[in-house]
A and B are shown apart, each in its own frame.
Chain A
């Protein structure tokens, strides 16, 4: 086991008092705690800092650690000075064994509560229950409404021959009705195995809907942008509108504006009681190329019309 300089990890001097150690820990913990910092590496950094504090906050453990630290430092100096490769590795090996023993004894009082750090006295004893596992599950929009079982694969910690190791597990899950983007599902007993007869932890799935090429999701409502030609916007039109359950005929009302919304009831995602709605947003699209005949028609429209779309500017003296 690799020796870690806990003082360096906390950024304090080896003779720092308990108060300075606590202050340093609190500052780093606030900065790196995985519940407030989602950056890559923050969780590992927090674990290191918490490990250092776990030892240094307790006078007895700190003294024991200081002893080992001195031992480790001298060993390194001695070996480096003599450059005897064979002795050096065996020396460090012995030291590292000692550190591993120390580490095990320092942390043996800890329970095995899921997520974060364990072993608090005001906690009930639930030491042997397996850890809960949280997994993000990307789901296609179509899967939410279909009656299909979604295969998932995840990793979780498990005790194998007395060592904590990571195991892979696969399952099939049916997304329950009413669960939408950001929803959570709990699968009892599918988390990390408990020790001995203790129950397994649970698996928590965090449902994330994969971006869809046509539909956007807002809660249980769906949104679709419908491109329409300027004359369709002006005169009204019938459009074949895709929905999750097939095409429907949509009537574009005359004088529709770009960005205007229309609600189509019951064509959204299923909820516990009922179904969400589909919102249509019109987007007026001008043809990329115009032929002479069209141009002439636009021109006569322009000559005829007294419409000024920028009256707001004049009112505001812009």
Chain B
């Protein structure tokens, strides 16, 4: 059984992603991810969902050669898309429960 971790510190994240603290602070300053807790940057702790978005942001930064402002917009839209997809899935399931039993009645 290995350690289950739900939060990551700034320093650990830098080592893990192979990025500098300056770059990580820039990612936070652009609002791409927010620390879950901690006032100063060396106290910052991130939730794992933030780690997921941060990984995406860093990949996009290098692979697409675009600036952080554009990446912040892309990530924001991707987050919105994810939330909408999930909401849509949930509403669809609820709707199915509500209407699926009703047989289609044809208008003659």
CB neighbours of B78 from chain A (8 A):
35-36
Known: A129-B18, A176-B6, A186-B51. A216 touches B64 (CB 8 A): no
Closest to A214 in B: B97
Chain A nearest CB: distance from B7 CB in Å? 9
Judge whether A62 is part of the interface by a CB distance below 8 angstroms: no
Query: Is B65 a contact of A26 with CB atoms below 8 Å?
Result: yes
> Is A223 at the interface (CB under 8 A from chain B)?
yes
CB distance A186 to B62 under 8 Å?
Answer: no
The count of chain B contact residues (Cβ–Cβ below 8 Å) is 38
Distance of A225 Cα from B5 Cα, bound (Å): 35
**B18-62 to A contact mask, C-beta < 8 Å, 1/0:** 111001000000000000000000000001110110011011101
User: Known contacts A35-B59, A36-B78, A122-B20: does B98 contact A188 (CB below 8 Å)?
Assistant: no
Shortest CB-to-CB span from B102 to chain A, Å, is: 10
The reply to whether A185 and B62 form a contact with Cβ atoms under 8 Å apart is: no
Collect the chain B residues with CB atoms within 8 Å of residue A216's CB.
90, 93-94, 97
Q: Is the CB of B64 within 8 A of A33?
A: yes
The residues of A that contact B65 with a CB separation of less than 8 Å are: 22, 26
Q: Give complex CA distance A83, B6 in Å.
A: 62
| Chain B, range 56-75, C-beta contacts under 8 Å to A | 56, 58-60, 62-65, 74
Give the A interface residue count (CB, 8 A).
54
User: In the complex, are the beta carbons of A218 and B51 less than 8 A apart?
Assistant: no
Inter-chain contact A186/B74, CB cutoff 8 Å? no
**Chain A contacts for B86, CB-based, 8 A:** 181-182
State the CA gap A30–B60 with chains docked (Å): 9
Cα-based distance from A285 to B48 in the complex (angstroms): 44
Whether B15 is near chain A, meaning CB under 8 Å from some CB there, is yes
Of A26, A29, A126, A188, the contact of B2 (CB 8 Å cutoff)? A188
User: Which residues from chain A contact B62 at a C-beta distance below 8 Å?
Assistant: 116-117, 120
Using CB atoms, name the residue of chain B closest to A191. Answer: B16
Contact mask for chain A residues 95-131; partner B; CB cutoff 8 A; 1 contact, 0 none: 0000000000000000101111100101111100100
Which A residue sits closest to B83, measured CB to CB?
Answer: A182
Q: For residue A257, give the distance in angstroms from its CB to the closest CB of chain B.
A: 13
The interface stretch among A64-72, A155-163, A166-174, A247-255 is A166-174
A-B contact list, 5 entries, CB within 8 Å: A116-B59, A124-B14, A182-B49, A184-B52, A225-B98
B interface residues (Cβ-Cβ under 8 A, vs A) = 1-6, 8, 14-20, 23, 47-49, 51-52, 55-56, 58-60, 62-65, 74, 78, 86, 90, 93-94, 97-98, 101
List 17 additional contacts besides A117-B63, A187-B5, A217-B90; criterion CB under 8 Å.
Answer: A29-B63, A33-B64, A113-B18, A116-B62, A117-B59, A125-B18, A129-B18, A174-B1, A176-B4, A184-B51, A185-B5, A185-B6, A186-B5, A188-B3, A190-B2, A202-B16, A204-B52
**Ranked 10 nearest A-B pairs via Cβ:** A126-B18, A184-B48, A116-B59, A186-B5, A188-B3, A225-B97, A35-B56, A123-B18, A113-B18, A187-B2
